[in-house]
Amino acid sequence: MGLLQREIEAAGFTTITLSIIADLTASVSAPRIAAIEHPFSLTMGYPGDSQTQMAVLRATLQALVEMETPGELRHLPFEWPEHLADVASGPPESPPITNYLMKHPLQFKKLLKRGFPEVRI
């Protein structure tokens, strides 16, 4: 995302990334980063929790307004109510492509090149 942001910024638009892994996001030189301590797939909060989602959105947009220099990082003032390790934020079962690649790891390279994995029966 940081690479795309840099291109958008070069066109004259200010951008910001909301990131749960600020160090990783910074490593791709994202222009502005709003860091938040939330679990994977729950960056904005739980599904249906519109109050938290709006608060995160407002805080992110406020950070965008206040951050004048590209390269800035702002930690948003949100804490997840549970211990992050206790949150089950992933799907209840692995997607079929994950199961396939676990059984056929050499097909991953072909998939990255936008080729279709070989089907072995």
Q: What is the DSSP string of 20-62?
A: S-HHHHHHTT-SEEEEEE--TT-TT-STT-HHHHHHHHHHHHH
Give the pLDDT confidence of 61-91 residue by residue, as tens digits.
Answer: 999 999 988 889 999 999 887 776 666 655 6
The 10s digit of each residue's pLDDT in 28-47 is 888 999 999 988 888 999 88
- Residue for token pair 């089950």: 88
pLDDT band at 19 (very low <50, low <70, confident <90, very high): very high
**5 close to 17: Cβ distance less than 8 angstroms:** yes
pLDDT for 100: 81
